[in-house]
Structure 1
């Protein structure tokens, strides 16, 4: 049974994306608001370790790369802020992890850092600065439902991207499409135009690898979907995570499908377990 924390009081200002998230603003789908690598664990019962969706690490087919030697007595570096349970749920073949840390369970403010472990013997290292980000208006959800205005906690694959504009130089799968257009105003009255200039789909309640615009919801429509990383518009989201445009471009340049990238996201309390 999931542990439910008190919900924040919702502000009821106009928002153009009313169906639950990002895709709804484009094609009347339920969205910013998914297929999850795993359904997230409750705070009372830790979830077992699971593998992330995505491509395997690059290297000779059928042959695992030998780990690089390390100095005696040293341990591989860990991602700061992640507890034993959370670290254990990151697949061994994942070599990129975007960690999004919410200020608190009911806060729409968060930060994000991209980590890589190109040398498993040395462990994880940060490859970006700490970016200020926004998440859902009401904070985070142990179990996300359509329309709750919360961002689902968990570890999810990053397997597809798209946007209104051509991407920066990138090896990550990306589709340019005029459908990535949004208007109107956000919860704080800020314009939403440009929010979908660049997006990366988060594999919550969606089929990994398909277009971010795909409407299929394997867990059912009531569980929401269309959870994206997208350009920040200066206020809370329906459930997505938004980054300033320069950081979205940097992220697209750095993401590599051969490194099986994931997003590890939630409030600090959840991540530290």
Structure 2
């Protein structure tokens, strides 16, 4: 009698195939989700696996600010600043109250770091200039101080100098007598002087009488001790300020004097 066939072996292949199909489908979904087009495993965005918003990008770094321009000397216009030599690191600025005034204010500026520019090294001082004020074209006897930028290269006086790096001509010939325009005594005005290099040979003694522009253009323009009134063409500050200035000015720093009325210097 024939043995009846069992149906179990007949269903086994279908079960196995179904299981294989499910397995392959699961692997395929993992492979497609976890592989990029080049076959490399991709990473999810963020620690939580939640991708960022579309088009999101890293924040750009803040732009760096440009360096600040060097500080300029207050009150000086472009034409005046252009006259200051590039190598000058000390500028004694004497600013007159008006073109016809004999009163002014003096400030010493230094430029130790060109990248930072000029800074005031000493507090403002009261000063006198010529009786009739200022002029851009000085002539002998006009009783006006010359406007401009001039080098300072020599000093001198009747008294022993304070500690100074400047060439100093100690001589009894630095003497003056008589009275000023307001009747004030002039004696002692030249105890300390610094020659302004207007119509003179730079570096020579302040007593040197050489006038490269001619005698008619005047000369002997100095910074000297104030006698309490206007000058004939010089700039004057008190004796204490003169000693202080002599102690600070340094030929290595190529000092200059910038002098004139406020309106002229602002150009």
1:93-132 equivalent positions in 2, closer than 5 A:
93-132=87-126
Once residues 189 and 272 of structure 1 are traced to their aligned partners in structure 2, the CA distance between those partners, rounded to angstroms, is 34
Verify: 1:207 aligned to 2:162, yes or no: no
Verify: 1:147 aligned to 2:141, yes or no: yes
Quote the residue 2:181 is aligned against: 187
Aligned with 1:209: secondary structure?
coil
Verify: 1:245 aligned to 2:244, yes or no: no
After TM superposition, give the deviation of residue 89 of structure 1 in Å. Answer: 1.2
Give a deviation string over 1:101-140, Cα, whole Å, max 9, x none. 0000000000100001011011001111100000000000
Verify: 1:216 aligned to 2:202, yes or no: no
Moved over 3 A (4+): none
Give TM-score scaled by structure 2 length. 0.75
Quote the residue 1:258 is aligned against: 252
Once residues 97 and 256 of structure 1 are traced to their aligned partners in structure 2, the CA distance between those partners, rounded to angstroms, is 11
After TM superposition, give the deviation of residue 228 of structure 1 in Å. Answer: 0.3
Once residues 177 and 77 of structure 1 are traced to their aligned partners in structure 2, the CA distance between those partners, rounded to angstroms, is 40
Quote the residue 2:84 is aligned against: 90
Aligned with 2:216: secondary structure?
helix
Verify: 1:171 aligned to 2:165, yes or no: yes
Quote the residue 1:270 is aligned against: 264
Give a deviation string over 1:73-126, Cα, whole Å, max 9, x none. 311111000011111111110000000000000000001000010110110011
Aligned with 1:123: secondary structure?
coil
Aligned with 2:207: secondary structure?
coil
Aligned with 2:115: secondary structure?
coil
Aligned with 1:155: secondary structure?
strand
After TM superposition, give the deviation of residue 175 of structure 1 in Å. Answer: 1.1
| Structure 1 runs not aligned, ≥5 long | 1-70
Aligned with 2:243: secondary structure?
helix
| Greater share of residues in helix | 2
Verify: 1:162 aligned to 2:190, yes or no: no
CA RMSD, Structure 1 to Structure 2 (Å): 0.8
Rg larger in structure: 2
Once residues 148 and 67 of structure 2 are traced to their aligned partners in structure 1, the CA distance between those partners, rounded to angstroms, is 32
Once residues 187 and 225 of structure 1 are traced to their aligned partners in structure 2, the CA distance between those partners, rounded to angstroms, is 19
